[in-house]
Structure 1
Amino acid sequence: MGLPQVRLISRENGVGLSRDLDLMAGLLAGQARVERLGIGGRSRMRLQELGLWGRRLLHGKAPLQLFAERVYRRCLPLAERNLLVPNPEWFLERWLPLLPAFDAVLCKTRHAERIFHALGCDARYIGFTSPDRMQAAVPRQRVFLHLAGRSSAKGTQALLATWQRHPHWPLLVVVQHPKIATAKVVAANIDHRIAYLDDAALQALQNQCLFHVCPSETEGFGHYLMEGLSVGAVVLTTDAEPMAELVAAQRGIHIPVAGSRTDGLARRYFVDGEGIAAAVEQALALDAAALARLSHAARSYYLCNDQAFARRFQREVLAWTRSAAALPLAEVER
């Protein structure tokens, strides 16, 4: 009997979703015949869906499909089993009636697990991971790094405004995509880089900067949080789910929440200058021993989480392939 077939489906966006597809495909390599389907724009999507329906007419349904974040309604009838790996803040209201079409919802965070369980889904925690960015030979500096990227939900403006009011603080490096940045902030202790950095330059920064400031308003998972933990950085993040789930108090510093509002199935949390200042001053007061403890705890958590996620994901998906073949669903590590 050959390897089971698994189709992974999401939007091909060149960044987070594309990376998630690659990561999951890599974990299943050698254990399943993986079809990685990156959906394009509207016209290309229609052609892709027609192609899949043609294959169904010729060869029957696929055993298992896994949808990452996006739900493509016309693709749901194409497989015996359908799984969803959602990001709650991006889950659209029009997809809610489609949830019963999914055999299980595989959740990246405990926060997402609770949300989808409350919606009546078979919600199962698998966790998630991010690339290991560690470069142990790179000397660490008492510099703060904020990766805003292309997101408008990273708390960047509040962070920049607060740093401007504290000229005695160490250097803050902010990396922001030109399409998102409004204006470059000029200050003696702020290096505001409105540019695209290649991966090598970005990785070097992640390792050079001892502190990573991540006041996210919302996260489906939080790759830049997990990447910060992977390099053993002291991560400062919003004291709300799921950010504080990844960066617990024993391995980072929490920024108090100043307000919130509903955002999709989740909530969006906001920090203010007072909360940012309290967290930064807490970071600056850490002695060498405390910094070493936090750094070790961050790196250790990353390594344990990375291995545990790989096991959960592989065992869960492969169990559902057996279910698709009309075998009893195996007991899966939860």
Structure 2
Amino acid sequence: MAIPKPTLNIIGKANGVGLSRDLALLESALRESGYDVRVTKIDAAQARRRRSPWSQLLVRCALLRRRFFRRHPTDASINVMLEHVWSEYLSAADVNVAIPNPEWFDVHDRRMLGAIDVVWAKTAYTQQVFESHGSRVRYTGFDSDDRHDAAVPRHATFFHLAGKSSMKGTDRLLRVWARHPEWPVLTVVQHQADTNAPEIAAANIDRRVGYVDDGELRRLQNTSQFHLCLSLTEGWGHYIVEALGVGAITVTIDAAPMNELVTCDRGALVRHESVGAQRLATTYYFDEGHFEATVAGLLALTEAQRTQLSQNSRRWFLENQRTFPQRLREAVEALAESGA
């Protein structure tokens, strides 16, 4: 059945960081395209029910008889589910879309993956992962907040935004930096330090652990010419894309999906020395020796070279921001044309 003017219900957790940004950015982009959009924020009880085998059995029964069931109060033409398959909503819309992060897509999600009509992939890596699991997948990419502030003076210093995540390679980064007192200042913003890791302090490490207000955070993001984003893996990578947005020369690991966002014409790529796995994602651990050589190479760049890399970063961010609503619109229209 065609969906000429779909109503979209975006479903996801609001965690105050990345997932909250996902909700807001997706809602804004879809509204920009003229769609009627609702947002359903998942609470703790709903998050627990997602993992309940009994709840999943009830959902399967509802899906089998969905035509005869009264719709959920948040009834919509299309459900768009962020990060997980929010199974209790599967029977509440004609079409179910998932926008997953492979590293958090767990066994409970995989059990319900067959009820998802199409996966919208933030990255080409996610597209490959879910195609390998037999899903119908469409690449949409994603977007991040524009943190650029041209009024802030830039300096040849380094910045690392760990936030609440344990997947940013922060502790290893600090250990390497502490071995190089000749390097410029590295500013690290971290929600909470790893209590199991040894304390690392050095004169050229400015470590901010705890709350940093948004104005100060934005200033710090714009102050440093170099951003270190050594993620083990990413579903999208807001802190990488925000780094590109402020025109930073961004350093990340030369592995998917990080090297989809950062290329050598707008940053630097560090080899990995070992790999692991987290749910559906491969994780990568940066090679410390190659990282040290990379930093030395960045410090040797001329001002003209730094300016060019910075301009390339900002240009990529703006183009991605411009085209994201268009990619979403085309994805919705494809559903309307196919009826699924």
Runs of 4+ in 1 over 4 A off after TM superposition: 43-46, 57-61, 179-184
| From 217, 221, 231, the counterpart of 1:206 | 221
1:4 alignment partner in structure 2: 6
Residue 19, structure 1, aligned to residue 34, structure 2: no
Kept after mapping to 2: 8 A contact 1:86/1:107: yes
1:263 to 257, 270, 278: 278
Q: Is residue 297 of structure 2 the alignment partner of residue 282 of structure 1?
A: yes
CA distance in 1, matches of 2:240, 2:116: 29
Q: Hey, what does 1:141 align to over in structure 2?
A: 155
Paired residue secondary structure (1:38): strand
Tell me how large the CA RMSD over aligned residues is: 2.5
Q: Are 2:106 and 1:106 aligned?
A: no
- Change in Cα spacing, 1:57 to 1:114, as seen in structure 2 (3 Å) is closer
2:177 equivalent in structure 1: 163
Report the equivalent of 2:85. 71
TM-score where L is the length of structure 2? 0.88
After superposition, what is the alpha-carbon deviation per residue over 1:92-128, rounded to whole angstroms, capped at 9, x for unaligned?
0232232221111100001111111111111111111
Unaligned runs of 5+ in 2: 50-54, 59-65
Correspondence for 1:154 among 161, 165, 168: 168
Write the letter of the residue equivalent to 1:8.
I
Out of 29-38 and 156-165, give the one that drifted further. Answer: 29-38
Moved more, 119-128 or 179-188: 179-188
Q: Are the structure 2 counterparts of residues 203 and 228 from structure 1 closer, same or farther at C-alpha, using a change threshold of 3 Å?
A: same
Residue 39 of structure 2 is matched in structure 1 by 36
Taking the aligned partners of 2:251 and 2:315, their CA distance within structure 1 comes to 17
Distance 2:114 2:46 in 1: 28
1:135-193, Cα deviation, whole Å (9 max, x unpaired)? 11211001100111111111111111111111000101011112646565321111111
- Aligned to 2:113, the other structure's residue is in SS state helix
Which of the residues 309, 312, 316 maps onto 1:301? 316
Change (3 A) 1:41 1:291: same
* 3-state SS of 2:182 partner: coil
Three-state SS of the structure 2 residue aligned to 1:71 is coil
1:314 Cα deviation (Å)? 2.3
Structure number with higher relative contact order (C-alpha < 8 Å, ≥ 6 residues apart)? 2
Distance in structure 1 (CA, Å) of the matches to 2:21 and 2:199:
29
Which letter maps to 1:102? I
Which amino acid counterpart does residue 38 of structure 1 have in structure 2?
K
SS at match of 2:265: helix
Judge conservation of contact 1:255–1:278 (CA < 8 Å) in 2: no
Q: CA deviation at 1:18?
A: 1.5
